[in-house]
Structure 1
């Protein structure tokens, strides 16, 4: 008589008994996720309540979608949402290709000493505090002693108060973000390029292909799955504009183009004490991000067979 197959519970128990060391190593990460990511979700219900710090989350009365109705009738929020979408779109269009181009250029550099020096220089801004980066930007665009206005003065242009002009805030912010993060982000693509089989290049050399042709016919198609994955992640964070940099650079004179959803939440929640209203704005932000990730992942899976899951 054939032996009865072990039950699913028995197989799981045997697996845990064999691999318990791995799960012990995983335990700190699981605890961190539960305590700092999942437990705070309990507080999301204040977006649907008339929250009072004296009554607490559980004791505050439910008011349904009233905060969301107020939110979508709030001109400041609609302005912040518009600015967030515009800056994220510009950042995606102008900023997303830069790390890819940097990785491709680094891959073509043959002088290893120059390559390492150049990589160090472009990686460095990522490791500098946002406060220092903002200080550098403010100093560079200063109307009195900034290098930008100094150079403009050489050709006879009067000093421009860049950081008080709404029309200049977006280009400065997006350019600063590219300068700060593009080099570090290129590491992902360099790692993908390192995984391309050398035999492909060897075969191309035998066929007489130039380095330019090898880059466009071998390197770029080989790292395309990585590019698509990074694009999906970037689309999912399209409403997560760099909060710290905007707080450090913007001022009431530039709210027209600089105020975004995260700064709106900061002002309403922490400065204004409207925690329930700010929670509603934050929840809306998270739901939109989730929908964008799901949509981008579905489209990518259907047309390129590459996806996050």
Structure 2
């Protein structure tokens, strides 16, 4: 009888404890949210201008996506015009420009993506091996300064060095009879010129985030590895590279979201009638079709197709990275 009463009291006590625990959790949730709002409202106020900016200039224009499915009429506004569905998408897929545009865009973008991804990592690993703080700071400053040069100036520099008539490099090579000096007019040379100049301009700036990741590595790991007889290549292979792999994975996923987003300004400024077969990409073709020829619905459909493909690349890269290395952005 006593044991039965004890068991009953124990069960009642456990039930009260569970109810009290549930009530405490609910109370903590309500209280923690109130405390969070009270504590973090200055941060939300600080970030509010950025939220408003993104909402107005990034999400607001998405209202115009419907132009891709309408026969746009100036007199009826964005919501006017006859609904034509996927007519302009089918027109783009059947266009003789579809295949050259995709090939040119993917070729330029992949070369820029791959080399622009590898070069900052190599540069960061090399800079990390410099022991002198002054020398390291000097090298960093020199390497990321080109990032602040405008696109117009970069293209002017390219023309200065590669123009057949007055280019410094082309005149020197022509004097040596090494190669054909007309680089800017050679379609086969357009892609190398683009990605080499792009990597040179941005690899120093992009290496900063890898240097930040390397700076968080415990120096005791280097000392222990040196005591075990590891050289510089072993330190890079077994300490530095594993330290930056998560960062590299995240950046690669983000870059995959812009596979088809080849920079419009630089490509457009580098174009000429001779290299046009290799330099016409989706962004420049959209500009010429939409702005110069006033085919707004057609150009919107092309731009929407470009965005959807980029989104597919982003989601696919994220899922692959998540399964392989548990590194993902969502």
**TM-score after normalising by structure 1:** 0.94
Instruction: Please list the CA deviations of residues 92-138 of structure 1 after superposition, one character each: whole Å capped at 9, or x if unmatched.
Output: 33332111000000001123333222222221111001000000001
* Residues 1:17 and 1:158: Cα distance change in structure 2 (over 3 Å): closer
In structure 2, the partner of 1:306 is 327
Q: Distance in 2 between matches of 1:302 and 1:157?
A: 49
The residue aligned with 1:250 is 271
Structure of greater Rg: 2
Structure 1 runs (4+) greater than 4 angstroms displaced? 1-4, 6-14
Structure 1 position 9, deviation (Å): 7.1
C-alpha distance in 2 between matches for 1:161 and 1:208: 52
| Larger RCO (alpha carbons 8 Å, 6+ apart) | 1
Give, in angstroms, the shift of residue 161 of structure 1.
Answer: 1.9
Residues 229 and 307 in structure 1, CA contact (< 8 A), matched pair in contact too: yes
- Preserved CA contact (<8 Å) 2:174 2:181: no
Native 8 Å contact 2:171 2:181 kept in 1? no
Task: Report the counterpart of residue 286 of structure 2 in structure 1.
Answer: 265
Deviation at residue 216 of structure 1 after TM alignment:
0.8
State which of 96, 102, 114 in structure 1 corresponds to 2:135: 114
Please name the residue that 1:104 is paired with. 125
1:66 maps to what in 2? 87
Number of aligned residue pairs: 309
Please state if 1:190 is matched with 2:211: yes
Other-structure match for 2:230: 209
Whether contact under 8 Å (2:111, 2:195) holds in the other structure is yes
TM alignment of 1:158-237, pairs within 5 A:
160-237=181-258
Relative to the length of structure 2, the TM-score reads 0.88
1:8 to partner: Cα distance:
6.7
Comparing 192-201 with 17-26, greater Cα deviation is found at 17-26
Any idea what SS the aligned residue of 1:163 has? coil
Assess, with a 3 A threshold, how the Cα gap between structure 1 residues 10 and 237 changes in structure 2: closer, same or farther. Answer: same
SS at match of 1:252: coil
- For 1:285 and 1:158, locate their aligned partners in 2 and report how far apart those are by CA, in whole Å: 37
Q: Indicate the SS of the match to 1:162.
A: coil
After TM superposition, give the deviation of residue 291 of structure 1 in Å. 0.7
Kindly indicate whether residue 165 of structure 2 is the aligned counterpart of residue 144 of structure 1: yes
Q: CA deviation at 1:64?
A: 0.3
**Residue from 49, 70, 74 that aligns with 1:53:** 74
Show the counterpart of 2:44. 23
CA distance in 1, matches of 2:261, 2:294: 22
SS of 1:145 mapped into structure 2? coil
CA RMSD of aligned residues (A): 2.0
Alignment partners' CA distance in 2, 1:240 and 1:212: 36
What residue is the counterpart of 1:127 in the other structure? 148
Consecutive unaligned residues in structure 1, runs of 5 or more = none
| Cα offsets for 1:230-273 (capped at 9, x unmatched) | 11112221101121110110123212111111111111111111
CA distance in 2, matches of 1:207, 1:66: 67
Distance 1:214 1:132 in 2: 39
Query: Does structure 2 conserve the Cα–Cα contact (< 8 Å) formed by 1:123 and 1:184?
Result: yes
1:80 to 97, 101, 110: 101
Instruction: Show structure 2 runs of 5+ residues with no match.
Output: 1-15
Deviation at 1:29, TM superposition (A): 1.6
